[in-house]
Structure 1
Amino acid sequence: MYRKTILCTLFAAGAAIFAAQTAMAAGEDTSEPPKKTKTSSECTQGKIWDAKKNACVNAKKSDLSDDILFQAARELAYAGQYENSIKVLGAVRDQKSARVLNYLGYANRKAGRMELGMQYYKRALQADENYILARSYMGQALIEQGQIEDARVQLVEIRDRGGEGTWAYRSLLQSLGGIRHY
């Protein structure tokens, strides 16, 4: 029985580390902002830059992949173009993916719709409870609402899911004043 418990614990820890590494591999858990393209400098009203067509195209009518659409939405969010980011995220085919739900949370929160943003973060975590970037952004939203202890819970969750060395962890820790209380 003891051996089985240890094996289950090791398997869970390995799965958490794999999930954290997967998020980082997708280019989402990084301190680097997305590469700026003509999407954020020239395109408007939910349009994104299509390098093949050398023009801004309607994201919903394009044949661009979910990854390209997601990266464009991320670029727009980082550029402060939250409404455009939300429009582009609406064009992504996989509307149930944790990364799309997380950035819908981020863009809505930054656009001033805190409750809607929190709903999206919760949905992102329902889709993937190990999605540490959603936990980090949710923690930052909790801090904005004065819910410091709840934000610390998210920090501990990130750590316990193998994310202590990640940008998601460091960013939330910094938002908490750099003090670990766990």
Structure 2
Amino acid sequence: MKLFGLNKKAKETTFQITEPDRNWVEDNFKWLIQVFGYPTRQSEQIIITDKFFPKTFSTSNLQVQNVIEDLCNLLDLDAGKITFVMHQDLRDVYGIPFEIQGKPFETETEITENNYKIHIAKSISNRSNRLIFSLIYECIKIRLTENKLQFDTGNDTSLFLFIAGIYFGFGIPLAQNLTDNGQVDDGFWETKWTYVSEMPIEVMAFGLAIHSKLIGQDNPEWKNQLPQAHKVQFERAITFLNNSFSEVFNTNELDANDLFNQADKAYQNGDFESAISNLKQVLLLTEDELLKSDVYNNIGYYQLRNGEYEKSIANFRKALQIDPNYGFAHDNLGYVLIQIGQIEEGKQQLEKALQTDNNDNAYTFRNLALYFLAKNEIEKAESNFQLAFQSETVPVDLLELHYANFLINQGKSDLGMKYLEKAVKKGEPEAMKRMNEIKSK
């Protein structure tokens, strides 16, 4: 990256950015959008408060594990795959001066068999902002690694991680930590530290402005959390973008994302027809292939829940044409095929789902239970139902309902009714219908 603004002789009142720098930021945003999709208008930059870090703020002393769990929740990571270890060095020995050539070690992530170990220098454990910043930085790397992205490709890697951080919503804490200095004096020994990031303020501000324009916010409240110099440059960058053309922004994509979220809300309220209608409008607006695959999968799923199995199969296949490695689409297609009696092809789809990194094992085990039930292999069905419950990290649709029907058909009506009641409490229309059928007999 070419750094800019180093030889200014007069105080600038407008935003200054070189063409290579602008292209670099915009190209990286376009790449992130291509991989992860457009952010929604409901997106926001994350601030280090109990709103975003409830576990972190639940204790008076900063606990690394709590920070990691909050970050995993914010970045949709599996906290069970991440561990950490603290390291001591000369910086932790009282009264011993030392000098380090180059950048001192603070944090580093080791990848071991699809798990991650974050190595942390004990010297930053008493500097909470710096520690949280470093963990954010490492968790962003893990998020990119989980998606199998080749981001560690050259001298711009660390700079790109700041842009990725802005995209994922961590622009505020990253901007707040572009510089860090301080000292502690206990009356006998004085400890000083200083850190200056290679990311220029102007480039950081331009990245934040790009994200704000992507979500349709020219004057976000969070800008007041920025250091003053960043805030000034951010406001200038917004003005600059308002007065110049950018290929990054696409109003249709923002509208499409809004409709996608509206569809999800309609689905949560049990209004499958409205959900499907909104998603069909998304297809008329978006050119985002990643979003299209999600749309086809969701249309198929809402049709599935509406009992329109044949229609849903066509949409799951469309989703898989776009993304053959889409675990949820394989799972959903397998479920429907089992429901209509094509159980062996259904099982093949479930096996493909398990081979991906983007399925939910609890869903897959629920569906495998239905496959074995269709084959009248009762013990295997029971075993997979239990695996589904054990693997459940978020509520699994129809799991209690299917297990309730399984138990009732096995003559275990009392236990089956307890699971059916749980399904009704989840608000599932199918469970309510089943309960009414039983009560009417």
Provide the TM-score with structure 2 as the length reference: 0.28
Indicate if the aligned counterparts of 2:283 and 2:295 stay in contact, CA closer than 8 A.
no
CA distance 1:130–1:76, shift in 2 (3 Å): closer
What CA distance in whole angstroms lies between the structure 1 residues aligned with 2:394 and 2:405? 15
CA distance 1:164–1:111, shift in 2 (3 Å): same
2:175 is aligned with 1:110: no
What CA distance in whole angstroms lies between the structure 2 residues aligned with 1:84 and 1:33? 19
- Residue-by-residue CA offset, 1:50-97 (whole Å, 9 max, x unaligned): 25759xxxxxx9966222211111122223332322221222222222
Q: CA RMSD in A?
A: 3.7
What CA distance in whole angstroms lies between the structure 2 residues aligned with 1:150 and 1:31? 32
- Give the AA of the match of 2:371: A
Structure 2 match to 1:7? none
Structure 2 match to 1:88? 315
CA distance 1:77–1:164, shift in 2 (3 Å): closer
What CA distance in whole angstroms lies between the structure 2 residues aligned with 1:164 and 1:153? 20
What CA distance in whole angstroms lies between the structure 1 residues aligned with 2:302 and 2:400? 21
Structure 2 match to 1:49? 280
- Give the AA of the match of 2:367: Y
CA distance 1:166–1:83, shift in 2 (3 Å): closer
Indicate if the aligned counterparts of 1:33 and 1:78 stay in contact, CA closer than 8 A.
no
Give the gaps of 5 or more residues in structure 1: 1-12, 17-26, 41-47, 55-60
Structure 2 match to 1:101? 330
Structure 2 match to 1:138? 368
SS of corresponding position for 2:273: coil
Structure 2 match to 1:77? 304
CA distance 1:37–1:143, shift in 2 (3 Å): same
- Residue-by-residue CA offset, 1:89-128 (whole Å, 9 max, x unaligned): 2222222221010111122222321111111112212225
Map 1:13-32; keep pairs closer than 5 Å.
15=80
95-104 vs 159-168, which deviates more? 159-168
Provide the TM-score with structure 1 as the length reference: 0.60
What CA distance in whole angstroms lies between the structure 2 residues aligned with 1:36 and 1:165? 22
Structure 2 match to 1:125? 354
Of the two, which has the highest radius of gyration?
2
What CA distance in whole angstroms lies between the structure 2 residues aligned with 1:165 and 1:37? 23
Identical aligned residues as a percent: 16
What CA distance in whole angstroms lies between the structure 1 residues aligned with 2:350 and 2:327? 8
2:295 is aligned with 1:68: yes
Structure 1 match to 2:66? none
What CA distance in whole angstroms lies between the structure 1 residues aligned with 2:334 and 2:369? 12
Structure 2 match to 1:43? none
Structure 2 match to 1:20? none
Indicate if the aligned counterparts of 2:275 and 2:302 stay in contact, CA closer than 8 A.
no
Match 2:391 to one of 144, 155, 161: 161
What CA distance in whole angstroms lies between the structure 1 residues aligned with 2:271 and 2:297? 11
2:265 is aligned with 1:35: no
- Give the AA of the match of 2:297: F
What CA distance in whole angstroms lies between the structure 2 residues aligned with 1:109 and 1:34? 25
What CA distance in whole angstroms lies between the structure 2 residues aligned with 1:32 and 1:153? 32
What CA distance in whole angstroms lies between the structure 2 residues aligned with 1:34 and 1:120? 28
Indicate if the aligned counterparts of 1:98 and 1:131 stay in contact, CA closer than 8 A.
no
* Residue 37 of structure 1, CA deviation: 3.2
Indicate if the aligned counterparts of 1:108 and 1:117 stay in contact, CA closer than 8 A.
yes
Structure 2 match to 1:9? none
